[in-house]
Chain A
Amino acid sequence: MDKHTLQAQKLSCIRDDRLLFSNLDFTLHKHQVLLLEGKNGSGKTSLLRILCGFREPDAGVVHWCGETINSEQYRANVAYIGHLDGIKKELTVLENLQFALALAQAPADADTVQAALARVQLAGFDDMPAQTLSAGQRRRLLLARLLLAPSPLWILDEPFTALDKQGIALSEQLMAEQCDRGGMIVLTSHHDLNLPSTDVHRIRLS
């Protein structure tokens, strides 16, 4: 747990013959947050997808603890929230959560799950089909997933979308806790990030 680092070396990304970024270097240590900034279409999501291993960088490499990210060990350490939430609308809140936990190898007992749902203010929704949730509530369900399967690295693509003020405050609180326990976060956000006591690095893509 001590030496978790995420290191990107000379990353380049070309999309539809357009150079989004090139020679991008950064190293992220534990307790740190990396905030990607830039206007729409500047390659923030592409960079996050490269970090997840969904997309091959057109040049450069990403290392996790000194090894390339194409490994089970890396995937066991990362949690990703993207534009698509991966919630099955036909399944209930609880079923969605339980499946996510089975995938993440993070078994949790019923009480812990209920506590997490209460924390994200979804208590009492556990046997509702996910299609009855509002967009913000779906985001809260994703927060519960993060809460129950604590991964050292969070990769979050616009995590504040559709959340209300309380929801944003709650996500910031969760992020602060993640950094306190030695985790790290890479995120994009157009919302001003309010994390006073954490080490936030910024990269501006243009």
Chain B
Amino acid sequence: MSISAAFFAIIRRDLLLALRRRSEIANPLFFFVLVITLFPLGVGAKPHLLQAIAPGIIWVSALLAAMLSLDSLFRSDFDDGSLEQLLLSPHPPSLLVLGKVLAHWLVTGLPLLLIAPLLAVLLGMPSQSLGVLLLTLLLGTPVLSLLGAIGVALTVGLRRGGMLLSLLVLPLYVPVLIFASNAVEMAGSGLPIDAQLNILMAMLCMALVLAPWPTVAALKMSLN
């Protein structure tokens, strides 16, 4: 139907835009790789220590990389007036916002997921936790994008919203960080991790359903 056509049209457009301005894909990924490769240099040649803090390093870097990439979510649409046209279209705005967030995650979140196993091996993470790391990233990074969208929508109209954005969004990111890095760590010790994964899944479902509404409301406020 035409609603899903608009949903796919916006995903297609945003992916095309990302392809034409490649730095948007490269920046968060570059940051992610850089931070993780710098850690062994900073910590020194202590494989056991690195192995112990690897889940935390990877997840904190992923979280910061996600936050770095947030501003591009609505910035150009706000600046060139596309956002007005989106909100004036007859389609449910929450669906269009969801499409935008999905495209944004495909461009900034998915690459992190693809490169993470390599970096995990670099930090000496035990092989039994690699799968869990990927799973937590798969469940967790979309939550970061969805929650971040609310923060960006609130601050996109401000001239220097960067600082405010991190203050708004970081507290919301903390639960994801705690449960995800904890799951990876426990998996490394061979302990059950069902509870953490269930909570991450619940967070993802909640964010998918509930985050688009406040995002739309905040975008409308920013346009006013």
Report whether over half of chain A's contact residues are helix, strand or loop; otherwise say mixed: loop
Contacts of B5 in A (CB 8 A): 102
Which chain A residues in 71-119 approach chain B with CB under 8 Å?
72-73, 75-76, 78, 80, 82-91, 95, 98-100, 102-105, 107
Q: Which residue of B lies closest to A74 (CB)?
A: B90
Q: How far is the CA of A105 from the CA of B2 in the complex (A)?
A: 7
B90 close to A54 (CB less than 8 A): no
Chain A residues with a Cβ closer than 8 Å to the other chain, count: 30
B81 close to A82 (CB less than 8 A): yes
Q: Which residue of A lies closest to B76 (CB)?
A: A88
Task: Say which residue of B9, B17, B224 sits within 8 Å of A103 (CB atoms).
Answer: B9
Contacts of A103 in B (CB 8 A): 6, 9-10, 85-86, 89, 91
* B4 smallest CB distance to A (angstroms): 11
Given A90-B21, A103-B89, A103-B91, A83:B13 Cβ within 8 A: no
Contacts of A75 in B (CB 8 A): 88-90
Given A54-B223, A76-B90, A91-B17, A102:B9 Cβ within 8 A: yes
Q: Which residue of B lies closest to A104 (CB)?
A: B89
Contacts of B92 in A (CB 8 A): 72
Q: How far is the CA of A75 from the CA of B90 in the complex (A)?
A: 5
Contacts of A86 in B (CB 8 A): 80-82, 84-85
Task: Say which residue of A95, A100, A102 sits within 8 Å of B16 (CB atoms).
Answer: A95
Q: How far is the CA of A99 from the CA of B86 in the complex (A)?
A: 10
* B13 smallest CB distance to A (angstroms): 5
Which chain B residues in 117-171 approach chain A with CB under 8 Å?
none
Q: Choose among B76, B89, B223 the residue with the greatest number of A CB atoms under 10 Å from its CB.
A: B89
Name B's A-contacting residues (CB within 8 A): 2, 5-6, 9-10, 13, 16-17, 20-21, 76, 79-82, 84-92, 220, 223-224
Name A's B-contacting residues (CB within 8 A): 52-56, 72-73, 75-76, 78, 80, 82-91, 95, 98-100, 102-105, 107
